[in-house]
Amino acid sequence: MAWFARSKQEPVVDEEVVEEPRLPEPPALNEAGLRSVADHTAYLLSLVDPLRPFGMTLLEGWNQVVCEDIDSMISVPAFSTAKVDGYAVRSSDLTEDDGRLVETLDVVDAVDDRLPIGAALPVQPGDVLPAGANAVLPGTFATVEEGRATLIEKVEAGEYVRAAGEHLALGTRLLSQGDILTERAIGLLAGAGIDKAMVRPRPRVVVISSGDNLVEPGVELAPGESADANSYMIAAAARAVGATVFRVAVHTNDRETIKQVITDQLIRADLVISATGGSREDYEAMVAVMKEIGLVDEANVAMSPGSTQTFGLVGDEQVPMLMLPGNPVSAYVTFHVFAKPLLRQLMGADTGPRPGRAIATGTLRSNEGQLHLLRGQTVSDQKVTHVTQVTSPYALGQLAESNVLIVMDEHVELVRPGEAVKVWFLDGE
């Protein structure tokens, strides 16, 4: 049927179509059928908005991202003051004719509002100049008799004056949107008369620990059980990024229970991070719950370890939720590759990792087409940082021995001893 042909049919009443809510189209897969780490990161970041800024006192807002341009509220110094003993004057009153000073000035005791034209007010160093005065005539530049000052030498506007705003003019731009409220930025604002700033708050992270076979550390283990380590490690890691962290353990795979706990926690979560035990059942229970309460993206990412990635927007408020793999090394690497940028996105901060470089002490191997994150330990002297791969078989021990992730990019297959390699430092930045 041609589009504009007149139809003789009865008009068709469209049924109301309720669109199934879903996540935006995910990025295309590469030739190996995997999503690249860069694509996956960009996709997750596109699903999360920075938190709304709050007005906070300077110390509350410390180390957070400023969300406004901030200008000085005062001049520093706030007032123009005399630098020497003498007389506050208007420089325009001090005229010359043929090189001779012709004016005398009335020496006044006090000034009501503005310095009258032709008047001079005695001042000492540090005294605030009255309105209208723009220079100080040193005492030695005039002779005074019967309340009249006869000039010996004149001064120009601004001479012998410490001018208001000399250090900082009212309205000077101090910080711009996106700046970090460092300790020194706090000093700058306070000195400029500013006691509050609009900053993005610290994200609130709920770390949910689930899995039938996990128990709290310190509890005696029954056969098949292990002590929950991942959720503690990840809670501390989220705190290190600057988040306020709530760790909630629900050591079960019962889907109703998990669902109830997550739903209860959403009220205080800007990001939910799931940490589970290592079993398939743990993983499946959590994914099933995520799908029940939200929109879920499951991806095989070109990354090792941590290729299985699951992310969702859950609950009525579509709170972002990142599920970590069960293996401690995979979970930890996933945190640093994906959770950290998400947290920094929530904080309104730069989301890119800031890699360092180190010299490999041994041969490092990777597979082309895959971001490979090896665990490493660095030793630095004044001149150079060396890095050695850590390969201890016990996952948590391997992490504890490491202080960097060695970043083998997609195009890197081999790094030889003595060659430089990219590293992410794990403690502080």
Residues 110-169 touching a copy of itself, rule: CB under 8 A, are: 126, 128, 167-168
Looking at 399, 415, 421, 423, which residue binds a copy of itself (CB under 8 A)?
Answer: 399
Residue 91 is encoded by which pair of tokens?
């420089």
Do 360 and 419 contact (CB within 8 A), yes or no?
yes
Please report whether residue 62 would count as binding a copy of itself according to CB under 8 A.
yes
Q: Which is nearer to a copy of itself, 211 or 328 (CB)?
A: 328
Residue 230, interface with a copy of itself (CB under 8 A)? yes
CA distances from 332 to 31, 323, 328, 365, 374 (A): 27, 11, 6, 20, 12
Nearer to a copy of itself, 220 or 316 (CB): 220
Choosing from 55, 397, 417, 418, the residue that interacts with a copy of itself (CB under 8 A) is 397
- Which residue among 77, 122, 353, 369 contacts a copy of itself (CB under 8 A)? 77
Among positions 4-33, residues that touch a copy of itself (CB under 8 A) are none
SS3 content of the chain, % helix, strand, coil (to 5): 20, 30, 45
The C-alpha atoms of residue 329 and residue 398 are separated, in whole angstroms, by 8
| Contact (CB, 8 A) for 127 and 81 | yes
> Which one among 150, 226, 363, 391 touches a copy of itself, defined by CB under 8 A?
226
Nearer to a copy of itself, 174 or 347 (CB): 174
Reference 268, options 292, 235, 244; nearest CA is: 244
Least distance between a copy of itself and beta carbon 411 (Å): 15
Q: Which residue lies nearer to a copy of itself by CB, 117 or 420?
A: 420
Residue 161: closest CA among 79, 75, 89, 81: 81
- Of residues 56, 111, 198, 239, which one binds a copy of itself by CB under 8 A? 239
Q: Which stretch binds a copy of itself (CB under 8 A): 33-41, 59-67, 103-111, 139-147?
A: 59-67
Find the binder of a copy of itself among 247, 251, 259, 344 (CB under 8 A): 247
Residue at 98: amino acid letter = D
Q: Rule CB under 8 A: say whether 332 interacts with a copy of itself.
A: yes
Nearest to 395 by CA among 226, 209, 189, 169: 226
> Rounded to whole angstroms, how far apart are CA atoms 39 and 37?
5
359 binds a copy of itself (CB under 8 A): no
Interactions with a copy of itself, residue window 172-191 (CB under 8 A)? 174, 180, 182-191
Number of residues that bind a copy of itself (CB under 8 A): 73
Contact 244, 205 (CB under 8 A): yes
Given the rule CB under 8 A, which of 39-47, 112-120, 133-141, 396-404 is the region that contacts a copy of itself?
396-404
| 393 contributes a contact to a copy of itself by CB under 8 A | yes
217, 362, 417, 418: residue in contact with a copy of itself (rule CB under 8 A): 217
Q: Is 58 in the site for a copy of itself (CB under 8 A)?
A: yes
The DSSP 8-state label assigned to residue 361 in this structure reads S
HSE-up of residue 306 (Cα within 13 Å, Cβ side): 24
Q: Taking CB under 8 A as the criterion, which residues in 373-392 touch a copy of itself?
A: 382-383
Q: Which residues in 256-315 contact a copy of itself (CB under 8 A)?
A: none
Beta bridge partner(s), residue 138? 86
Question: What DSSP string describes 192-249?
Answer: TT--EEEEPPPPEEEEEEE-TTEE-TTSPPPTT-EE--HHHHHHHHHHHHT-EEEEEE
Of the pair 63, 304, the CB lying nearest a copy of itself is at 63
Selected binder of a copy of itself within 162, 196, 291, 386 (CB under 8 A): 196
